[in-house]
Amino acid sequence: MKSIIAHLGTQEFPRIRVGIAPREGGAEALAKRLDAVEYVLSDFAPEEKPIIRKVYPQVADAIHCLITDGVTAAMNKHN
């Protein structure tokens, strides 16, 4: 993300984020195990991989909508 911001010269650009949720134990257990950056950048657990594969088409649709219909339409459709 830092590289993108540096190349664009701004933090003002649309982003598509795919939500994450803590694994077992909730947010408090997560905070004890990992900091947020480490958690976000960690590999998916084996049981999570089929779930994320199911999300790929939705992400592709959100990207297509963002490009063709604009930010507001993409937000309204995919949030």
- Same domain flag for 76 and 60: yes
The total number of structural domains in the chain stands at 2
Judge if 52 and 79 occupy the same domain.
yes
Write down the pLDDT at residue 42.
Answer: 78
The answer to whether 6 and 56 have CB atoms below 8 angstroms apart is no
- Full domain range(s) for residue 39: 18-43
Residue 47: closest CA among 23, 29, 27: 23
pTM equals 0.66
pLDDT at res. 11:
94
Distances (CA, A) of 12 to 7, 8, 16, 71, 79: 12, 9, 13, 12, 19
Would 56 be classed as within a structural domain?
yes
**Together in a domain, 38 and 59:** no
36 and 54 housed in the same domain: no
Per-residue pLDDT of the chain (79 residues; tens, 9 = 90+): 899 999 999 999 998 888 666 556 655 665 666 676 777 777 888 888 888 899 999 999 999 999 999 999 999 999 8
